[in-house]
Structure 1
């Protein structure tokens, strides 16, 4: 198990200084159905930035969209055969999503208490406005994003719920809160590739400027809610990096292996370089999120990040202070054993970037 942060001594109220292994975390989802077991593992392996676990294997309400819908204020959703849909009033599906999220917050709080650690920060994850609006239907069956009035209402409602969520996490854990905004569907929204209810057509593409404005408003709402840092995460192979960076997050999270690492297209490399040059953190997904055929060597996992720094012309030391190591995506599809190992490995890589082993060519 990884080293833990400084124990709570009952006298110090300050936030502990981050250490090398603290610049590692997970992206949210976890295998299994026991949030307490998941939280204990997460706190043990990445005590510098533990997070509220997401366990979609529990079913309705535990998925990414259901969890974010649980934060909605004065709006309700329910499950139809086609997925989540706006409801007239909160029913069993909505209440279940709220209850599952509450249990997960309890689990993280309890795990921190049992471990006797004071985390430098804790993290929560929410679906971004475009992913949420693309994943929830109006009562007509059309996606929320097709109705600009409904879209604005959903974004405002989720923002109000996020304020409460961040405040509760900060109060319960005594730690600053990092908000991760997940936008896996944003590329499809921009490309106009989402299907209409009939399945024969596609929803019109959303202009980049409009997409940027709404996502930027969500980033600002998270900050106003008290978030210490805001991260926008898109693990799609072709994330709109320039648009995401323009919304002003403190960090951008990507699956570096899906992008092609140092062999990524020039426009991707240029965007990554501009993000780093501007001082924005890069959260680099370099640890497999599902069980590999053979256990990979640490240097092999580090190589895409090392080569990326070289290709972009940055000193490799930037990986130690302007990068965070993560799995390539959520760990819901991993075995419990690999989920633990992947999390441990992320922390080991973070330490290695600070104190490189001999032979890494620093």
Structure 2
């Protein structure tokens, strides 16, 4: 366990990434809390429409920055409108549901929001270009996100007073931002790569917020290839959530250093869309192989790795989503029961 964390995660823990299928907040909360007793999370239900998607939901959290839906996506507005009100309403519904199904709960509870760099890549300025194109806009977005998340995390703690709230920042565009691969509005060019020190600095602002409000740094999730493990570790995050199938041996050194430093690895080993599920022990066989290849102690495996689906479950059927979360829980237990 890293010295920077106050949480007792325990061994053999599983969780989800964020999104669930369907439009029923109570059903999603019931599934998540019933399947993931050690680390449940606040579900997202993007099938409800704009404002329930991850960008719209996070835009609704911002302080003194507002957004509305255009055909091209979410665009910054001068004032809150229908889309902002709808995003806040959906989130309120989700909070009501998770509060209902966590009565008396004591333990970690994960909540998600889009991180500053994916948000800057997705939110358009008034002229239609991504906020990523304007360093000042990026700074303003980060500051607004910090204050919005401060309010959100405080509200979650009020509703579920026994919870140790864990913040997850969704950053699927992070690698593209670092490599200069985010396309401009025309589609013919890409935005200039953002300096790694600037990227790390914004993430550190969110790390500071999470420590201040929850007592521990956030987890950062990316289901894209080439997750910047070393940068995230330097930024001080609690854990890194990733699609295990996208790893290559080039990631070995950074993953090994992260694990030895106490960074949690949220390994997405269960497919996020409908399909056959292998036996639970088979789902984590690749994780065991990686651990041996890195020369890490088998005794630390079950405490260092949290088992998850490969990404969100919004594209799955409700039946598969339930099965996948239960499968993650069984796979995580197999790591604890058989560490070698």
TM-score tier after normalising by the smaller chain length: over 0.9
TM-score (norm 2): 0.94
Task: Answer yes or no: is 1:320 the counterpart of 2:313.
Answer: no
Query: Cα distance, 1:299 vs. partner?
Result: 2.2
Question: Cα distance 1:19–1:219, how it changes in 2: closer, same or farther (>3 A)?
Answer: closer
Q: In 2, Cα distance between the equivalents of 1:230 and 1:211?
A: 15
Residue 152 of structure 1 corresponds to which residue in structure 2? 139
Deviations 1:222-268 (A, max 9, x none): 22222544101111121111111111011111111121xxxx22x30
- Which residue among 211, 219, 222 is the counterpart of 1:223? 211
Residue 281 of structure 1 corresponds to which residue in structure 2? 264
- Which residue among 42, 45, 51 is the counterpart of 2:32? 42
Query: How many residue pairs get matched?
Result: 334
TM-score (norm 1): 0.89
Q: In 1, Cα distance between the equivalents of 2:242 and 2:102?
A: 28
Q: In 2, Cα distance between the equivalents of 1:229 and 1:48?
A: 19
Matches within 5 A, 1:56-135: 56-113=46-103, 117-135=104-122
Residue 317 of structure 1 contacts residue 353 of structure 1 at CA under 8 Å; is this kept in 2?
no
Q: In 2, Cα distance between the equivalents of 1:133 and 1:19?
A: 35
Q: In 2, Cα distance between the equivalents of 1:317 and 1:230?
A: 25
- Which residue among 223, 231, 234 is the counterpart of 1:243? 231
Unpaired segments of 5 or more residues in structure 1? 1-14
Deviations 1:139-194 (A, max 9, x none): 01111111111111111111101011111111111111000011100111111122
Residue 25 of structure 2 contacts residue 94 of structure 2 at CA under 8 Å; is this kept in 1?
yes
Residue 157 of structure 2 corresponds to which residue in structure 1? 170
Residue 25 of structure 1 corresponds to which residue in structure 2? 15
Q: In 1, Cα distance between the equivalents of 2:269 and 2:298?
A: 16
Higher relative contact order (CA 8 A, sep 6+): 2
Residue 9 of structure 1 corresponds to which residue in structure 2? none
Q: In 2, Cα distance between the equivalents of 1:143 and 1:223?
A: 29
Q: In 2, Cα distance between the equivalents of 1:107 and 1:270?
A: 41
Residue 178 of structure 1 contacts residue 227 of structure 1 at CA under 8 Å; is this kept in 2?
no
